[in-house]
């Protein structure tokens, strides 16, 4: 009989992460137990503790990882762009695409914040605040430059963020629209981009 080849440690850690993402997304964090994660990976439950300290820590790593990637990606997308309205457009386009590509992780991030301990919850909220500030700052600059007219910058930013995050709940690869088309249509539906000041008739 051929002797089983041990899985490399990095591969096992990734497999645990992926299994947890699938299970947390499908049935929720609280309904998922460590035995289910171990069974999905093909390891003993006790072996999981070689790669994680607790189920909550695993949830935190998923949420922190996806938020860090989102913040870093959006920051890089806006870096060096001077035109405020173009920054708004790039933020929306990047965020919609990100949510379409990372649907399961962002869904977990949007629904399981309450499952974290207070300290870990604060860490995720801080990342969310940094992400939100990118759009708030771009909208503020666009309004001050006379490019858009909004009643309240923060409320407008909340609407933009909702458009981006909601894409994770309904976009399906292979559907009627591909992700490029979805990003274009959703960005254009965001009021400051749909009808900037320069296009309005006095």
106-124 in b/e form (b: 16+ CB < 10 A) is: bbbbeebeebbeeebeebb
pLDDT digit string (tens) for the chain, length 202 residues: 444 444 556 689 999 999 999 999 999 999 999 999 999 999 999 999 999 899 999 999 999 999 999 999 999 999 999 999 999 999 999 999 999 999 999 999 999 999 999 999 999 999 999 999 999 999 999 999 999 888 899 999 999 999 999 888 887 888 888 888 888 888 888 877 755 555 544 4
Q: Look up residue 14 and give its two tokens.
A: 């990734």
Q: Which CATH number fits the domain 54-197, given the four candidates 1.10.357.10, 3.40.50.300, 3.65.10.10, 2.40.40.20?
A: 1.10.357.10
CA–CA separation, 64 vs 71, rounded Å?
10
Chain-centre distance for alpha carbon 129:
13
pTM for the whole thing?
0.85
The CATH number for 7-52, chosen from 3.50.50.60, 1.10.10.60, 1.10.230.10, 1.10.1060.10, is 1.10.10.60
Spans of all domains in the chain: 7-52, 54-197
């Amino acid at each position: 009989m051929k002797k089983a080849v041990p899985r490399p440690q990095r591969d096992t850690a990734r497999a645990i992460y992926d299994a947890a993402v699938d299970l947390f997304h499908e049935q929720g964090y609280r309904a998922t137990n460590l035995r289910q994660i171990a069974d999905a990976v093909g390891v003993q439950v006790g072996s999981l503790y070689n790669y994680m300290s607790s189920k909550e820590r695993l949830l935190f790593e998923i949420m922190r990882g996806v938020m860090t990637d989102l913040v870093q990606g959006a920051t890089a997308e806006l870096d060096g762009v001077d035109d405020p309205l173009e920054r708004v457009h790039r933020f929306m386009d990047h965020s919609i695409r990100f949510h379409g590509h990372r649907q399961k992780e962002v869904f977990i991030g949007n629904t399981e914040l309450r499952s974290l301990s207070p300290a870990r919850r604060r860490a995720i909220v801080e990342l969310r605040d940094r992400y939100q500030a990118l759009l708030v700052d771009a909208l503020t600059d666009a309004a001050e430059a006379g490019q858009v007219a909004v009643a309240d910058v923060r409320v407008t930013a909340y609407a933009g963020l909702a458009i981006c995050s909601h894409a994770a709940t309904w976009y399906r690869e292979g559907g009627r629209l591909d992700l490029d088309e979805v990003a274009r249509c959703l960005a254009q539906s965001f009021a400051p981009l749909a009808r900037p000041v320069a296009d309005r008739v006095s």
